[in-house]
Structures are given as structure tokens and as C-alpha cells.
Amino acid sequence: MSSNHKKNEFHPIVGIDFGTTNSAIAYMHNKIPQILESANGERVIPSVLLIDLGDNVVVGRDALDSLVAMPGRTIAAVKRKMGSNNPIYVSGRDLLPQEVSALILKELKKSADDLFGEGEKEAVITVPAYFTDAQRRATKQARELAGFVVERIINEPTAAALAYGLNNLKKDGHILVYDLGGGTFDVSIVELMSGILEVKASTGNNFLGGEDFDWKLVDWLANKLINKHNIDPRGDIRAKALLKKEAEN
């Protein structure tokens, strides 16, 4: 498929889901969405960045595995910081949230480059419905820094409704969409009118998602160990990492 696409100069618009914990990139082929795989064969990569001891940028699973061992060189959950002008200090550098996001997104772009050839890629991107203008601008800038041409920004509840084919319903009306992700949660009222979906109202929490559930489980497990052995494992970064892994499983 790869060689045929390149030979025919097939350049579809890609869709990008940049999540708090994981990210993915996809395109439409014969009206069916196809998620592109990374060089490691992963269809979804952790949204984690590592600048290693050799000053190399590492993204994805390897960066996630280094999150505890090299906390000063690793960044996770940068989506929660989008729109902020406060730089993030990592490995001796000050990077803005959109710059960190761009480095992660470049890893997704490699998958598209491998399939369709190098160069700028037209993209549709999604954002939480409650994102402010500043957060949307930062999100767009991150995609452009990564080499994408942003054709459109879609609210995540609208994207979810489209994915479920709700725009094909024959009856107009209102739809309640819950969007619970790895780091954010929002609830939106989406209006369907003549096949057009529009977010009419939305609210959410930038700090409520699966990641927060995991840390609550870590606290619960730690308290069990404190009560039984009078030891708080959260004081040791390796023990804390093991607890986090158990919580995720």
C-alpha cells in the first residue's frame, strides 16, 4: 500500500488525536479510517517526551518507560498546559507547551511521511470543546511547528458524534456527549440540524481523567502498605513507579 500511495502521489488529509496520555494519527481509505502505525508497530503512542543523556529526543513508549528514572528529562501530560506562556524546564531547556507538543507530533508525522512521502501534511485536529482561544491557538501552532497544515479544528465531542455516524440520523435534535479521556473530561450538548452537528453548550475538567484515577489507586495502595508495614512507598521513585504500574493494570 505504501509504495502505491507514494507512486500515485496520494496525499490525504490526516486526522490527529493528541491526547493527554496517548496520541494517534489516521486517514480515510475507501471511506474507512486507517490508523497509522509507528516505527515500533504501535497504532497509539504515549504522549510523553524524553530528552536523553545524549540530547536525543525520544517520544512514545521508550519515553514513558523513562518517566520515573529520568524525571528531569521527561515530560508527560503536556496537553493540560496548552495555552500557557509558562515554559517547561526539561533537560536544561525552557520549552513552551506547544514546542513540547510539536516534538511529540513530529513522531506521528513520521508515520505519515513513511506512507505518503515527506513534506507538509494537511490535517484536521481535535480539541476539547471547552478549550479557550489561547489553547486553540497553541494547539494549532504546535501542529504547524510539527509540519502539519491545519485545515480545520474540530471540537472533540463533534468528532465523537461524527465517528458514531450521528450526523446521519434522520431526526434533528440534541445529543449529550460524554468525553472521558486520559487526562480531561467534558460533557457537551450537540445539536443536529439537517445533518450538521454543532456544540451548543459544554463544560469540563482539565484535571479529571484516567490518569487521575490511576493516582487515586496509587494513594489507596500506599495507604494499605502504610497501615500494614508503616512504610510509605511513594517516597521512593522506583517504588512509586511500581505502584503506578500496578494501578494501571
Report, as residue numbers or ranges, the catalytic residues. 17, 79, 156, 179
Q: Which three cell numbers stand for residue 71?
A: 524525571
Q: Are strands 22-29 and 32-35 parallel, antiparallel or unpaired?
A: antiparallel
Single-letter amino acid, residue 229: H
Which candidate, 148, 64, 162, places its Cα nearest to that of 111?
A: 148
C-beta pairs of 165-170 under 8 Å, 24+ apart in sequence: 166/190, 166/192, 166/197, 167/192, 167/195, 167/196, 167/197, 168/195
Kindly write down the DSSP assignment for every residue of 148-212, as one continuous string: EEEEEEEEHHHHHHHHTTGGG-SS-EEEEEEEE-SS-EEEEEEEEETTEEEEEEEEEETT-SHHH
List 173's β-bridge partners, or say none.
Answer: 192
Residue 91 φ/ψ, nearest 5 degrees:
50, 45
Other C-beta atoms within 10 Å of 173: how many? Answer: 10
